Structure 1
Amino acid sequence: MNVSYLAHVSGLVQGVYFRASSQQMAIEYGLSGYAHNLADGEVEVLLCGEEENVDKMLDWLNTGPPQAKVIAVKTKKVPWQQYNHFSIG
């Protein structure tokens, strides 16, 4: 079943390749969506795809890449959204 989740990741998550690493992982899991920096220092991540793979990616977000220091990940299920790829911005 396809699902979409929106996550807000806080901590040391900007300037540590969090978005690029998120894109690599999302591609490995066959997910679409995006990862964007927010003005408050968080990273917003939209994940769209098979529920099992979205769950794996949500787990990964709790750690992120080695340089990151994730403090919290707030997630919410959102209506299904169709994206053709995973973008960063």
Structure 2
Amino acid sequence: MSIEHRTFQIYGRVQGVFYRQSSQQEARRLGLTGFARNNPDGTVTIEAEGPPDALDALLAWCQKGPAAAQVERVEVTPGQLHHYKEFSVRRA
């Protein structure tokens, strides 16, 4: 099974709406590792590692987010593996 690393940059109303916590639940449900954090510019960054199909499913979730979010767009960048042990929520 191949493992990939992807960074998701989420734009829109994504802070103060439980986006990070909800993404943690979704990532864990999908068996992914990595983290979610708020950024000073109002975006959220998610770095995730796992099978490509699970990363694709996370992308589909990110494009909607939790109920109170208003996602404008999601940019995805592949990267090198960091071998995260779990999926966590980080402070900015």
TM-score bin (small chain):
over 0.9
CA–CA distance in structure 1, aligned partners of residues 7 and 46 of structure 2: 6
Structure 2 gaps of 5+ residues are none
* Per-residue deviation, residues 9-38 of structure 1 (Å, max 9, x unmatched): 010000000000000000000000000000
Hey, what does 2:20 align to over in structure 1? 19
CA–CA distance in structure 1, aligned partners of residues 10 and 68 of structure 2: 14
Pairing 1:28-39 to 2, within 5 Å after superposition: 28-39=29-40
CA–CA distance in structure 2, aligned partners of residues 79 and 85 of structure 1: 17
Pairing 1:1-89 to 2, within 5 Å after superposition: 1-89=2-90
CA–CA distance in structure 2, aligned partners of residues 52 and 80 of structure 1: 16
CA–CA distance in structure 2, aligned partners of residues 3 and 61 of structure 1: 17
Identical residues among aligned pairs (%): 35
- State the Cα RMSD in Å: 0.6
1:79: Cα distance to partner?
A: 1.0
1:80: Cα distance to partner?
A: 1.6
Shift >2 Å, 4+ stretches = none
Structure 1 gaps of 5+ residues are none
